Amino acid sequence: MDTQKTPTPAAKKRSAAAQERLDQIVSAAVRLINARGFNGMSLQAVADEVGITQAGVLHYVGSKHGLLVEVIRRYYDRSSALDDYLSLFHPGGAFEGQSPKIPEYCRLLVAENNSQPELVMLFQMLNTEAMSTESPLHEYFNDRSRGVIEPEPDVNWSVPEGIDATEAISCALAAMYGLEGRWVARPDEIDYPAEWSKFEDILFPLPLWEGYR
């Protein structure tokens, strides 16, 4: 029964405080998942970081699985400069009629991920744990992996002759994932966008991709 009529300003204020607390909980959970994995993380550790009791954490998320759901939700609530790029080529967009370029798309993705190392690490950790059929995220990440290779089926990419656009995206994203794993493991040693630009010379070598980058 949803009795949520016009919420009073006071109710809004309280709910905002609650939202802030939930954010603290999710932030702590992300840090702990990155450090130990979801299986290795405990509700008590989350509670300690936030400064409340373990039962207090459960008050917000219900169960450990509920916490995982909130963490995933946070991952998806990121802003995506990417969808913005692709939508430019859709009917009504600024570049309607033109075709997007894979290297350009990749560069945007790299730039975006470069500003969110914590979420990149979270993705690597959960995605890896989800390899196991035992993981509650197994099907979820498998579906995602299938879908991401063809992010926008109605877009026709501008690629050189003899190059399969779908394969090029698939391969580029695999390389990106591999590089991201190295980067988040030693962020001080690796300049992610700089390394990517070197990868670009391999993935999209210049005589062939001239005009398509």
Partner DNA sequence: GTTGTTACTTACTAACTAGTAAGTAACTCC
Partner DNA sequence: GGAGTTACTTACTAGTTAGTAAGTAACAAC
Summarize as ranges the residues that interact with DNA (CB under 7 A). Answer: 7-8, 10-11, 13-15, 17-18, 21, 41-45, 52-56, 58-59, 63-65
Written as six digits, the tokens of 47 are: 């509670």
Residue 119 binding a copy of itself, by CB under 8 A: no
> Two tokens at 95?
């570049």
Least distance from a copy of itself to the Cβ atom of residue 60, Å: 23
Q: How many CA atoms lie within 13 A of 138 on its CB side?
A: 6
The residue among 56 and 160 lying less far from a copy of itself, judged by its C-beta, is 160
User: Helix 9-40 to helix 43-50 angle, to the nearest 10 degrees?
Assistant: 130
Report which of 89, 123, 124 is spatially closest to residue 105, judged by C-alpha positions: 89
Q: Which residues contact 16 (CB under 8 A, 6 or more apart)?
A: none
40 lies in the site for a copy of itself, by CB under 8 A: yes
Comparing CB distances to a copy of itself, the nearer of 87 and 114 is: 114
User: Would you count residue 104 as binding a copy of itself (CB under 8 A)?
Assistant: no
**How many residues of this chain interact with a copy of itself, rule: CB under 8 A?**
50
Q: Binder to a copy of itself among 79, 94, 206, 211 (CB under 8 A)?
A: 206
Q: Where are the alpha helices (DSSP H) in 63-191?
A: 64-76, 81-87, 102-114, 117-129, 138-148, 165-185
Residues that bind a copy of itself (CB under 8 A): 34-40, 121, 124-125, 127-132, 134, 138, 141-142, 145, 162-164, 167-168, 170-179, 181-182, 184-186, 198-199, 201-203, 205-208
